[in-house]
């Protein structure tokens, strides 16, 4: 149902707006794909896609992204790479006309292919976000795209090394806002508003930082961000959103046929 913002006083401090049906969705946390890197091996991480490519070429075998279709980080990396060559509007469109425009992007992916992680004599794209994160943690690679929340919560729990840090490149990898909605068939509207309002309070936002390394949508300057300082650099207002809908299946199939099969 359409939200009555007068019942959500805390929403006033949230500037982030959902990219779809903003009148119905109240964003409460964000997360984004970033570049995760080992700060011991890479003291100054690349800041742009071009710098990243230069770094890959100077350090062959030390970068990996996961197979698209098995985890959002790989999806984000390949789609960002391809759509960097397309007009901005294409990234949120499922119009089939854009399929014809992918060639330049796929040629780019092919050009960086030889510099990716390899094992057993051939280039390998591991399955799942965790696949690349494990390689990074084991020191087999120095950099990979991954989810900010995933990297930071695993680092906080000690599952991965403290020297693993995150950074964003320009043009940025894609992120998303998670939103709450109220269904029309609900029975306790006031309760729903009360809960949503609570989720936007500094207190609840801090819990989400601690428990799920969420990027807070309210002012975090008064929050205890110990262990999650990296989040402060990520600004939800310039999140790059992607939604190519049904095109993603053709996209993944083309990647499998043209990139994954090179070996």
Partner 1 sequence: MMSKAFKQKLVAYGLVMPAFLVVMMTVAYPILSAVIQSFQDEKTGEFTLDNYLYFFTEPMQIRNILYTLFVVIMTVVIAIVVAYLLALYLRFVKSKIARAIGTLYLLPRFVPAMCAVYAMITIIRDSGLINRIGALFGLDIKLGLMYHASGMIVMNLWFNIPFAALMITAGLGAIPDSIIEGARDVGASKLKTFTSMILPLSIKDVVVASTFVFMSNVGSFTTPYLMGGNSPKMLGIALFDQFNKYMSYNRSAALSVIMFLICSVSAGVYIYTNLKENDWEKQ
Binding site for partner 1 (CB under 8 A): 67, 69, 119-127, 131, 138-140, 249, 252-253, 256-257, 260-263
Closer CB to partner 1, 59 or 127, in the complex:
127
Q: Could you tell me if 164 and 180 are in contact, meaning their C-beta atoms sit under 8 angstroms apart?
A: no
Cβ closer to partner 1: 14 or 259?
Answer: 259
Cβ 96 to partner 1 shortest distance, Å: 15
Nearest distance from residue 144's CB to partner 1, in Å? 14
- Which one, 121 or 183, has the nearer CB to partner 1? 121
Residue among 117 and 239 whose Cβ is closer to partner 1 = 117
Look at residues 241, 212, 245 and name the one whose alpha carbon lies nearest to residue 16: 241
| 148, 215 contact by CB (below 8 A) | yes
Minimal distance in Å, beta carbon 26 to partner 1? 31
Distance in Å, CB of 140 to partner 1, minimum: 5
Q: How far is the CB of 192 from partner 1 (least distance, A)?
A: 34
Closest distance between partner 1 and the C-beta of residue 97, in Å? 20
Q: Give whichever of 138 and 238 is closer to partner 1, judged by the CB atom.
A: 138
- Tell me whether residue 56 or residue 177 sits nearer to partner 1 (CB atom): 56
Task: At 112, give phi and psi (nearest 5°).
Answer: -90, -10
SS (H, E, C) 92-153: HCCCHHHHHHCHHHHHHHHHHHHHECEECCEECCCCCHHHHHHHHHCCCCCEEEEEHHHHHH
**82 token code pair:** 């391809």
- A 10 A CB-CB count for 137 gives 20
Is the Cβ–Cβ distance between 143 and 38 less than 8 Å? yes
| Minimum distance of partner 1 from residue 219's CB (angstroms) | 41
* Cis geometry, peptide bond prior to residue 182 (ω within 30 degrees of 0): no
Rounded to an integer, what is the distance from CA 111 to the centroid of its chain? 23
Which one, of 80, 125, 127, lies nearest residue 244 by Cα?
A: 80
Q: Would you say 21 or 138 has its CB closer to partner 1? A: 138
- How is residue 41 written in tokens? 């091996």
Confirm if 32 and 172 have CB atoms less than 8 A apart: yes
């Amino acid at each position: 149902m359409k939200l009555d913002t007068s019942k959500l006083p805390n929403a006033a401090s949230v500037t982030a707006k959902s990219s779809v049906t903003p009148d119905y969705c109240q964003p409460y946390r964000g997360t984004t794909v970033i570049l995760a890197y080992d700060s011991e091996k890479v003291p100054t991480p690349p800041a742009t896609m071009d710098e990243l490519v230069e770094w890959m070429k100077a350090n062959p075998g030390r970068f990996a992204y996961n197979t698209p279709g098995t985890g959002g980080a790989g999806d984000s990396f390949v789609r960002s790479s391809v759509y960097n060559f397309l007009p901005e509007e294409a990234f949120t469109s499922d119009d089939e006309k854009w399929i014809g425009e992918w060639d330049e992007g796929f040629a780019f992916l092919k050009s960086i292919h030889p510099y990716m992680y390899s094992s057993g004599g051939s280039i390998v794209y591991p399955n799942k976000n965790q696949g690349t994160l494990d390689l990074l943690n084991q020191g087999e690679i120095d950099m990979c795209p991954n989810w900010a929340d995933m990297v930071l919560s695993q680092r906080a729990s000690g599952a991965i090394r403290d020297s693993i840090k995150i950074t964003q490149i320009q043009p940025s990898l894609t992120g998303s806002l998670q939103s709450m909605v109220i269904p029309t068939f609900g029975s306790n509207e006031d309760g729903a508003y009360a809960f949503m309002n609570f989720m936007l309070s500094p207190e609840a936002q801090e819990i989400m930082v601690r428990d799920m390394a969420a990027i807070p949508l309210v002012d975090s300057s008064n929050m205890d961000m110990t262990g999650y300082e990296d989040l402060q650099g990520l600004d939800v207002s310039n999140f790059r959103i992607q939604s190519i809908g049904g095109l993603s299946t053709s996209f993944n199939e083309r990647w499998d046929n043209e990139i994954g099969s090179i070996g």
